[in-house]
A and B are shown apart, each in its own frame.
Chain A
Amino acid sequence: MPGTALIEVQQLVGELAPKDQLNEVVTAVHRIPAREAQWEEMPAWIRPELMQAYRAKGIERLYLHQAEAAEAVRAGKDVVIVTPTASGKTLCYNLPVLNAVVENPDTRALYLFPTKALAQDQLLELQDVGQRLGDAFGVFTYDGDTPSDARQAIRQRGHIVLTNPDMLHAGILPHHTKWTRLFENLRYIVIDELHTYRGVFGSHLANVLRRLKRITDFYGCNPQFIFSSATIANPGELAQRLTGSDVTVLEGNGAPSAEKCFVFYNPPVVNRFLGIRRSYINETWRIARKFVKRGFQTIVFANSRLHTEVLLTYLKQDNPPLPGSPEIVKGYRGGYLPLERREIEQGLRNGSIRAVVATNALELGIDIGSLDVAVMAGYPGTIASTWQRAGRAGRRTGASYAVMVASSRPLDQFIVKHPEYFFSESPEHVYIQPDNLEILINHLKCAAFELPLQNGESFGGVDLQIICERLAESGYLHKSGEFWYWTQEAYPADTVSLRSVSSDNFVIIDETVEPEVIGEVDFTSALTTVHPKAIYIHGAQQYHVERLEFEQRKAYVRRVAVDYFTQAIRYTQVKKLEVEEAAAIPGPAIKAYGDVQIRSQVVGFKKIKFYTLENVGSGKLELPENEMHTTACWITLDRELTESLPYSISERQDGLFGLLYALESVASLLLMCDRMDLGATIGERMPDNAEEAELFEPTLYLYDAYPCGIGLSRPLFEMYDLLLARTREMIEGCTCEKGCPSCVGPAGEAGERTKEVALAILAKLSPVGTMSCSQA
């Protein structure tokens, strides 16, 4: 019955937003029709006992894409399999790998998962097949939780070893001689959830794989790579950058799916002047409870642990456990014990749990079956992971629903107001920078520890000779004959973390009554939001920051009610070190990218009164300075441009900052990167001589917030036109009057004409007609 989902949703929408005539609240109801399964017979070369084992599990035939994947692997190709959630992805690689193990019991395979939980999930699946084959092969997880007395056996008897990049990096490669059985017979390397390896993590993984290849070369084997990925724009390119060789992309999907409705929901505006909307968390709760009440099995995604807990509390209060019955609402996030997680997964599969509130921990391929409804509190940040989360709802039969509730972040607002962008655009590119020197050199040290580096050997795209000489001068290596040897007592892998940027958070502790942790902020925003004497706003409650323990990464706050907010004064200096490429553009202006030095320090703060926005005080701060060399993309506005703007100097400045705010949001949207991966600042062009010193030629910088850069600047430079067009769409499309957090920044913080000036600058930079605007 096509259309039932639509009717159901329209009914619901009517209840949720009865007065939404302009479709400002429900901005999209997108229907995805049902799809029939496309079947293929099991390939004839599959060993009968393996075919038997799968038949016993109820798998008699393959979906088209599974059969294609099996054939491509059989043909010896490196492949990347791109499939949506719940389309039988694991069979794509398990079938050919297991077949090879059954054919030749010496065969070994290494599976890499981004998290331990995913490896555990696969372990159960593979053990199940293994039992049906009379334990013909050994499959083990090998990670930080593996007991040391079991490790020896795993090294010897594990046909399939399930691990993660971190363990491969610090636990396996530096001890490769203990793994000779594996490395001498390694035929397949399976890397699941390829799309998660972006930015720093992906750049590290590429280098770990370079090291892995050196080791497999040493043991004389040449394993085949099998990747699996969610839908992204460049799976083949990404896989190719990781392995250094061509990879075949398989994008078919023969799995059936039922009809689905995707709803975009923007919480109603409650204060148009300040651009404030109703809490998206509360709105998420309202929507989720409606679905749960109607008997739909529902998954709610939140973007932070705190929000997970808040939503869980609300939903539990709605659905108290009946006496003698198990709970029907559960939470699921990192930090829950493995056993508890297994129980929740089980409960979701058998339907006893009716609602689960999760972080992205459930976005990846953990097997929880398929649910009826997915509700997302906030845009997950990328098109790809939004589809991943939506894919959690999707029965093979019946209908399913996905609802995205936008927060007031610019990214969320852009997406929710431009549904056509989301539904028509290809998903994001994943960028990595394997030749980031900081990352590469750290891995080169690890590589030298594992096996001496040979003159003429290649490791990424760098001149190994020069780097080895420098490492020798610094005491890490010593040359003997043709080889460079490791000459340190320390174990280099210990000091290199593959996920180094995001772990360093500050926790916020409310001391009003009893000390209680109310939230956390990442390192970079901590300095501007929880510096001493700041007013920190959390859940509409104001807190005064009493003290900041920098080393301990703790901020102590106390509840207050004051009529002002604070704004940190951050002093950021940018110095251009090297221009890779530059071009004159309309404006007149110059766009460029290259290497920069960023020095930033929070030097003080202002107190700003609500509504009147008067400056009612200020303070000085002494916080540590941060210095970093990285890559940036920038736009330098010619004096002619700034002078042609009919505004005062301070209005122009406000306009520039507003524009930068918007550019940064759109850039992170286009780059599929974390908000934290990208930084933005304004600098002035260094005057060439004293006469020019007074001339105002501002430069807007967007930089990689990681030392040496992770490959964001060049794509930004190349997508400059698109960046400008999207930014303009975003600002123009915003319903606020004079700027709000969803476009050019909070109205109070910027001047009266910020939005107007930002648009005027944009009009100069991209005169109508010179750019392609894809607005529907």
Chain B
Amino acid sequence: MDSLADRLSRIAALRPVSTISRTATDVADACPDTLIQLLGGELRFTQFGSHVRVRRRFRSPQPEVISPRALRLICYNTSAVSPDLSGWLLLDTETTGLAGGTGTYAFLVGIAWWEQDSFVVEQLFMRNHGEEPSLLLDLESHFARDRVLVTFNGKSFDWPLLQTRFRISRIRIREPIAHIDLLHPARRLWRPQLGSVALTRLERQILKLDRGPDIPSESIPQIYFDFLRGAGPRAIAEVFHHNRMDLCGLGSLLVHLNTILSEPEECGCRGSELFGISRMLQKSGGEERLARRVYEKALESGLPADAERAARRELAFLAKRGCDFERANALWLELSNDSREGFRACEQLAIYYEHKARLPGKALAFSRQALAKLREAFHARRITLKEYQRRYAALQRRLTRLAAKL
């Protein structure tokens, strides 16, 4: 006869996962108090139970304020945001996975802020899942007043994950008045140069910071699972360190962005950074002249081919809007032989000579050139059939019209 245990032993769904690791020595020194001692933390009690809190201060003069320009460039909705940093809160979580969904937990939540001449990092940790509600309640208290939240990739990861956690624990959390995710400006500024804009990479290569020995972030969930099953606190202490370094890096990144975005012309940035800044300036609107100057500066500093092409195109567009046709025409001429932008540039020149300069002959010549370039681009599959058809029809109309004018 077969017992339930025998039956269970055959179930594929019960087969152990490969990554289980636990050693006897680790278990020996597993004691909750040693963790608190090791970290210099304290046990916090709330109406929902207890959790661990670790607070550290770093000497760091507070940046006075975020300049209005920098704020506008990194934050979409600036109206409610005070540039005074006292209401700003930096946040980073360590989780049991990256998959999201309701079964992923933020077991360590780090927050940081400036206070007089210190940068304060506070870390909230649950020693087991039962401590989650207490941790969340403590975190919630930081959101009791208006907050500007600063994260790195928090818009799509950390904050939705925390919202899920709060919802499951039935704790209401006040939404921050603004959420600034520095991943987005970082991408604009550094992706061409670095490829990937992971925070650790930015620290090393842009901010020139060295965080010292650190654990790879993909090992973090397993470290926590091992801790739950009795492994010692040393590995978890390294996760705390990692999280703290992430917050320091986030703070440094904010300061750095404030510096270069406040005075883009004086920041000593390299071409690709300037190009990124000018695109941000152009997108946020309002400072087109500055955007043009920064584009020009970026072109002077030298750009990779793709960026150079885009910079010329955008700059020409801005020049046209500013009625600086001399500059616009020069840029279009530079682009007129380009395999990707050529047809657009020639079309723009045709428009200029037809309507502004009123030289239909020249306009006709550029229209023809545009048509040839358009065909080329289509055959090289640089544009879709739909776009080709649309532009082709427009150019044909222009040619007919110009022929009539001649």
Contact = CB atoms under 8 A, between A and B. Distances in A.
Contact of B97 (A476, A489, A708): A489
B176 to A, nearest CB: 18
A177 B103 contact: no
B20 A475 contact: yes
Nearest to B167: A177
A474 interface: yes
B96 interface: yes
Contacts of B4: 463, 466
A506 interface: no
B99 interface: yes
Interface in A442-478: 442, 445, 448-452, 463, 466-467, 470-471, 473-476, 478
B124 to A, nearest CB: 17
Contacts of B1: 578
Interface stretch (B9-17, B207-215, B257-265, B388-396): B9-17
Contacts of A448: 103
Interface magnitude class on chain B: 35 or more
A174 B14 CA distance: 20
Given A177-B163, A467-B8, A470-B8, A485 B129 contact: yes
Nearest to A487: B225
Contacts, number: 102
Given A177-B102, A180-B167, A475 B8 contact: no
Contacts of A176: 102
A739 B99 CA distance: 58
A349 to B, nearest CB: 32
A489 B98 contact: yes
A480 B128 contact: yes
Contact of A483 (B16, B105, B130, B225): B130
B236 to A, nearest CB: 15
Contacts of B100: 175
A9 interface: no
B38 interface: no
Interface in B164-185: 164, 167-168
Interface in B129-181: 129-130, 163-164, 167-168
B221 interface: yes
Contact of A488 (B11, B14, B97, B102): B97
A474 B102 contact: no
Interface in A176-196: 176-178, 180
B7 interface: yes
A466 B7 CA distance: 12
Contacts of B130: 480-481, 483
B2 interface: yes
B13 A441 contact: yes
A337 B17 CA distance: 40
B13 A442 contact: yes
A366 interface: no
B101 interface: yes
Nearest to A577: B2
A550 interface: no
Interface in A704-755: 707-708
Nearest to B8: A470
A451 B11 CA distance: 23
B228 A474 contact: no
Interface string A487-524: 11111100000000000000000000000000000000
Nearest to A452: B129
Contacts of A474: 14-17, 20
B2 A595 contact: yes
Contacts of A480: 128-130, 228
Given A438-B12, A470-B8, A708-B11, 20 more contacts: A174-B102, A174-B103, A175-B101, A177-B164, A180-B167, A438-B11, A441-B13, A450-B102, A466-B4, A474-B16, A475-B17, A475-B20, A478-B129, A478-B228, A480-B130, A483-B129, A488-B17, A489-B222, A491-B103, A578-B2
6 interchain residue pairs of minimum CB distance:
A449-B103, A489-B97, A578-B2, A480-B128, A485-B129, A474-B16
Interface of B: 1-2, 4-8, 10-17, 19-20, 96-103, 105, 128-130, 163-164, 167-168, 221-222, 225, 228-229
